[in-house]
Amino acid sequence: MGYKFRGGLFRICLCCCLLTVILPAGDMQAQGPVKPALRPFAVLELFTSQGCSSCPPADKLLGKIIEDAKKNNKPVYAMGYHVDYWNKYGWKDPYSSMKYSLRQRNYVSVLRETQAYTPQLVVNGETSFVGSDEKLAYAALEKALKTPAAVELQIEYMGSGNDTMTISYSSTGTNKNYYLKVAMVEKNAVNAVSKGENSGKTLQHHNVVTHFSSFDLNKAQGEVKVPLKNKKPGKDHLLIAFVQHRQTMKILGATGAEIK
């Protein structure tokens, strides 16, 4: 046990020549162990579309980042959300959903962007920029991987049945303003496009979000049920989960899990 002695006041008693040390209140408190900082992480959310001719370079960059993270064991959790507002321009993206377009619009509002666009990359719910800008992507990634997480999160795939998937979780932080977000992603997706701006091209995507669910994080641990909508998870899928603040949309912690 150690003690700190700061700003001690010395009083000399002239009549008996005794030296008395008066210590400020609180300086005799024992110093407890310092908790280690939680491991940094990076959540990358790419808003993209097969109907957008500017998007393939961003999809390629996301794949490059995923491969590097896997090779070097970096806690990077990347996802591709296919928005649906490009569908009216000749090609209906088979991976698109209005839910992902709404998620992007929420970011546009919180991050004070002027409008939604593709490709847009959002890092940890705090920073956004054109998704094909490699320099900005790696700068944001480097910054995120130097910032300790606020919450430690763990998940485990428990199985599926009755068109739902069960996932157990544990979190070091709970709050009425925290959401637990769970995404199931398809690791690699390839298909040919016959109409629209990318007509005649075969496009490849990485960690395409196929299911996305949100739950109130009011318990430190528990189980959640994710609707599968008739699509069974397999080895070509991966789970990504993160804790996100309801108002600021800042992401506080993240993790991933294989589906076995």
Q: What is the pLDDT of residue 229?
A: 85
CA distance 117 to 113: 10
Q: What is the pLDDT of residue 34?
A: 60
Checking DSSP bridges between strand 42-48 and strand 76-82, what pairing results, if any?
Answer: parallel
Q: What is the pLDDT of residue 27?
A: 46
pLDDT score of 51 more than 80: yes
pLDDT score of 235 more than 90: no
- 32 pLDDT band, cuts 50/70/90, is low
Q: What is the pLDDT of residue 35?
A: 66
* Summary mean pLDDT of the chain: 89
In the block, tokens 């090779």 appear at 71
Mean local confidence (pLDDT), 7-21:
40
* Residue 65: closest CA among 121, 141, 125: 141
pLDDT score of 16 more than 80: no
In the block, tokens 């957008």 appear at 52
Q: What is the pLDDT of residue 33?
A: 59
- 232 pLDDT band, cuts 50/70/90, is confident
Which fold would CATH assign to domain 42-258? Answer: Glutaredoxin (3.40.30)
Is the CB of residue 152 less than 8 Å from the CB of residue 253?
yes
pLDDT tens per residue, range 113-152: 999 999 999 999 999 999 999 999 999 999 999 999 999 9
CA distance 85 to 49: 9
Choice between 19 and 57, residue whose per-residue pLDDT is larger: 57
- 15 pLDDT band, cuts 50/70/90, is very low
Q: What is the pLDDT of residue 83?
A: 98
Choice between 164 and 3, residue whose per-residue pLDDT is larger: 164
Mean local confidence (pLDDT), 229-234:
84
Mean local confidence (pLDDT), 226-251:
93
Handedness of CA 84, 86, 89, 95 (dihedral sign): negative
Q: How far apart are the first and last CA of the chain?
A: 48
Enumerate the domain spans of the chain: 42-258
pLDDT tens per residue, range 158-204: 999 999 999 999 999 999 999 999 999 999 999 999 999 999 999 99
Full-model pTM: 0.86
CA distance 53 to 22: 74
For the record, the structure tokens of 203 come out as 């496009």
